[in-house]
Amino acid sequence: MATVIDGRKLAKELNQQTKERVAKLASRGIQPGIVVILVGEDPASVIYTRNKQRKAEKLGIKSILKKFPADVDQVTVMAAVDQYNHDDTIDAILVQEPLPDQLDGQAITNAIRPDKDIDGLHPTNLGKLYANQPGNYPVACTPRGVMTMLHHHHVELAGKNATIVGRSILVGKPMAALLNNANATTTLASRHTRDLAAATRQADILVVAAGSPHLIKAEDVKPGAVVIDVGINRLSSGKLTGDVDFEHVQDVASLITPVPGGVGPMTIASLMQQTVDLAEWRHNGQK
């Protein structure tokens, strides 16, 4: 039976560390600041952005929620990004995804100053990640949170087979890069993968971010594997469930994350952690 990774507990510990770092910055007259740009009223995004705001305020981080109607045009959003690029009280700019179709998300990301790019999606930051450059730069907060979980549980990565299911730019791609940079042998699978079960069964570390409820069954998992479920799916019953059939996979895995209470809380805690990183780097001139 697998050990269940308690994402809420780990997030609480990380948030405590972040709070202490915020207090240290306050003694230098610095308050880290984040702005979250929310377009439209997607119910899940409204909840996530509210949770981010609450957490930031609780930790002493300045937080602005900049809302736009769903039919906002590109120029208006780009102007807001430009405004916060030049706002010295803001260290982190986050554009909540998903965005409506009329907006060019890539152009918006590219307009964010790389040293305020909290999601680590600007090509400059992605390039550094893919080049495995040393130094300080932001990386996407969900993969960062997953890495923190793996390190916390002393999961050995070097030489291990890691399979990531789902190749989004927000999770799958940076996750594969981080694991590869940690010397794991990585397979980045997607819905195009011919034999997905073969790819998942070879994994010592399996990260699933496919957005498909219970896609991964017990027979898809190597005995003793570490299974990280990034999926958050709301069933018609209202219940949240992951991409992994937790009930049965926990009998096969050695370590497993639940949904809810696994990766989700770590995403927000990592976001707060990285907001403080950005503030420290900017104020210490370590860009």
Catalytic residue check, 277 = no
| Rounded-to-integer distance, Cα 92 and Cα 271, Å | 9
- CB 264 to ligand LMY7XDAE: min, Å: 2
One-letter amino acid of 155: V
Q: CA neighbours within 13 Å on the CB side: how many for 174? A: 24
Rg (CA), the chain: 19
170 binds ligand LMY7XDAE (CB under 6 A): yes
| Rounded-to-integer distance, Cα 146 and Cα 1, Å | 21
| Rounded-to-integer distance, Cα 44 and Cα 80, Å | 23
Question: Of the candidates 240, 248, 281, 283, which one interacts with ligand LMY7XDAE according to CB under 6 A?
Answer: 240
Task: Give me the catalytic one of 55, 91, 96, 243.
Answer: 96
- CB 141 to ligand LMY7XDAE: min, Å: 5
Question: Of the candidates 91, 119, 243, 245, which one interacts with ligand LMY7XDAE according to CB under 6 A?
Answer: 119
Catalytic residue check, 96 = yes
Which CB, 109 or 186, lies closer to ligand LMY7XDAE?
109
Question: Of the candidates 48, 84, 137, 246, which one interacts with ligand LMY7XDAE according to CB under 6 A?
Answer: 48
Question: Of the candidates 260, 280, 281, 283, which one interacts with ligand LMY7XDAE according to CB under 6 A?
Answer: 260
Catalytic residue check, 119 = yes
| Rounded-to-integer distance, Cα 106 and Cα 259, Å | 29
Burial of 112 per CB tally in 10 Å (0-12, 13-18, 19+): buried
Question: Of the candidates 222, 265, 278, 282, which one interacts with ligand LMY7XDAE according to CB under 6 A?
Answer: 265
Task: Give me the catalytic one of 91, 119, 220, 245.
Answer: 119
Question: Of the candidates 18, 148, 250, 267, which one interacts with ligand LMY7XDAE according to CB under 6 A?
Answer: 267
Handedness of CA 99, 103, 106, 109 (dihedral sign): negative
- CB 225 to ligand LMY7XDAE: min, Å: 21
Which CB, 228 or 268, lies closer to ligand LMY7XDAE?
268
Pairing assessment for the beta strands 226-229 and 255-256 based on DSSP bridges: parallel
**Crossing angle of helices 123-130/172-181, nearest 10°?**
40
The answer to whether 90 is annotated as binding is: no
**Residue 166 backbone zone (phi > 0: left; psi -120 to 50: alpha; other: beta):** left
Q: CA neighbours within 13 Å on the CB side: how many for 82? A: 7
Stretch that binds ligand LMY7XDAE, among 57-65, 88-96, 122-130, 179-187 (CB under 6 A): 88-96
Q: Residue 91: which of 37, 141, 34 has the closest Cα?
A: 34
Which CB, 8 or 283, lies closer to ligand LMY7XDAE?
8
Q: Binding site: which residues? A: 166-168, 232
Catalytic residue annotation: 52, 96, 119
